[in-house]
Amino acid sequence: FSATRAQKMIGTETDAQKQQRMAWWTDSRFGMFIHWGLYSGAARHEWVKHNEALSNEQYQKYFDQFNPDLFDPTKWAKEAKAAGMKYAVLTTKHHEGFCLFDSKYTDYKAPNTLAKRDLVKEYVDAFRAQGLKVGFYYSLLDWHHPDYVMDDIHPLMQKDKSKEHYAELNKGRDMAKYRQYMRNQITELLTKYGKIDILWLDFSFPNKKDPSHGKGADDWGAVELVKLIRKLQPGIIIDNRLNLEEYKDGADFETPEQVGTKELEKYRGHTWETCQTFSGSWGYYRDENTWKTHRQLLDLLITSVANGGNLILNVGPTARGEFDYRANNALDSLSYWMHANNISIHNCTYAPSNFAVPEGDRLTYNAKTKKLYVHLFNYPADGVLTLPGYASRVKYVQFLNDHSEIANKPSSGNSEDLVVTLPKKKPPYEVPVVELSL
């Protein structure tokens, strides 16, 4: 990743200042992503307009039908909080171009649907009231704006990709006007809703071989945009999808998307947040049935922290404005686990490298309290857990969930090794956590 080596600067912030600005985010470790828009009504992926090459006219029915009569953001916020999530990021506008907020620069917005109001405002108020930090996702792509120059990943480019077709469709479109539209809307979002904690801009797809096909920093006016954002909200945290890798401060964090847990180790030492879905889609997808298990979700969360990163887990509410039962069930299970074990997640990071990781398990560490947490993915059937080289460094051992003492002693074979005697019956958590006081 080149940003770690990049030297050019947009602003003047030092590394120490950045670390301080981001401290709450780094300590949080767990957030909620919310993808909600007109595509929730189609209920078959947030890219449905693109995937099925739908025109604005064909897509209009989702606008006309949009009626989130069950929308209750306080309920969303309470669920996020119960699951131990400390922040949220809502799609204020996704690629489809529909705005959940009351923008004066478009009619394509929630107040003009049966919702008849600014849904972003209600989200901000509700999440803030629950003590959660609030973030906005804003799509750089816009499949509805008349000035957005179409490219390979525009819905109307799907049917016929010939140069002539492309030129014809893009006649009169003007990215300079679209850039101004984005600046206007981002200004609205960052001035009308109080302090905004995160801005999640999505996404660049530069095509070095043929710039007429991709889009990158210059298409968005990215350098000027970052200056504007930082002026309006000096404390805000910005993701890395503006294609500003050549600037040291062109982004605050990396965004490995839908990667497997094995890939997360390579981000150690970076500042990052992996974004993940419950199922395959970000937007509500009624008929998609491959949902991650409770264990897989815990693995993503714990492995993220074990490698010094955050997890932002996505919910795609229905068009009526509710989390669907599968999302609720998954969140309930996470709440149960986090209620008893969140201390091994919040304010934690990877363990000092001289602690060996028991086979299949994950370590997290709180440097302030000097506690080391062993996440028992691999609970020993005989109850015997040997921690090689730990004996002289550990003062006390207990389960995190109930603070019950766990017997331990140096191994008779090698006094450097600590032998921990766990109960044969696994505590009632998918992944029990052993807390070691160093």
Binding site for ligand JFZ (CB under 6 A): 46-47, 202-203, 257, 275, 282
Residue nearest to ligand JFZ (CB): 203
What's the closest the beta carbon of residue 257 comes to ligand JFZ, in angstroms?
A: 5
Helices 325-341 & 73-82 angle (0-180, nearest 10): 40
Closest distance to ligand JFZ from the beta carbon of 202 (Å): 5
Asked whether 373 and 348 are in contact (CB, 8 A), the reply is yes
> Between residues 168 and 257, which has the closer beta carbon with respect to ligand JFZ?
257
Min dist CB 163 to ligand JFZ, Å, is 25
**40 or 401: whose CB is closer to ligand JFZ?**
40
Residue 370, CA atoms < 13 Å, CB-side half-sphere: 6
Residue 238 CB, nearest distance to ligand JFZ (Å)? 15
By the 8 A CB rule, do 215 and 205 touch?
Answer: yes
Helical packing angle, 119-129 and 73-82, nearest 10°: 40
Q: What's the DSSP call for residue 436?
A: E
> How near is the Cβ of 19 to ligand JFZ at its closest, in Å?
25
**Min CB(258)–ligand JFZ separation in Å:** 8
Q: What is the per-residue burial (b if ≥16 Cβ within 10 Å, else e) of 62-85?
A: bbeebebeebebeebbebbbbbbb
Q: Which is nearer to ligand JFZ, 148 or 282 (CB)?
A: 282
State how far the alpha carbon of 42 is from the alpha carbons of 17, 70, 388, 437, in Å. 44, 17, 54, 52
The least distance separating ligand JFZ from the CB of residue 214, rounded to whole angstroms, comes to 12
285 vs 429, which CB is nearer to ligand JFZ?
Answer: 285
- If the CB atoms of residues 198 and 275 are measured against ligand JFZ, the closer one turns out to be 275
CA distance 219 to 211: 10
CB of 188 or CB of 239, closer to ligand JFZ: 239
Please write down the HEC assignment for all residues of 359-373.
CCCEEEEECCCCEEE
- Nearer to ligand JFZ by Cβ, of 46 and 430: the residue is 46
- Residue partners of 299: CB distance under 8 A and separation at least 6: 261, 377, 431
How many other C-beta atoms lie within 10 A of the C-beta of residue 212? Answer: 13
Interatomic CA distance for residues 128 and 234, integer angstroms: 18
| Omega prior to 203 cis, within 30 of 0 | yes
Under a CB-based contact definition with an 8 Å cutoff, are residues 236 and 199 in contact? yes
Beta carbon nearer to ligand JFZ, 73 or 256: 256
| Tokens, residue 187 | 């200004």
Using CA atoms, how far apart are residues 394 and 29, in angstroms rounded to an integer?
A: 26
- Whichever of 202 and 322 has its CB closer to ligand JFZ, that residue is 202
For ligand JFZ, the closer CB: 46 or 245: 46
Provide the minimum distance between the beta carbon of 310 and ligand JFZ in the complex, in angstroms, as a whole number.
14
> Min. distance of Cβ 87 from ligand JFZ in angstroms?
15
Least spacing, CB of residue 408 vs ligand JFZ, in Å: 44
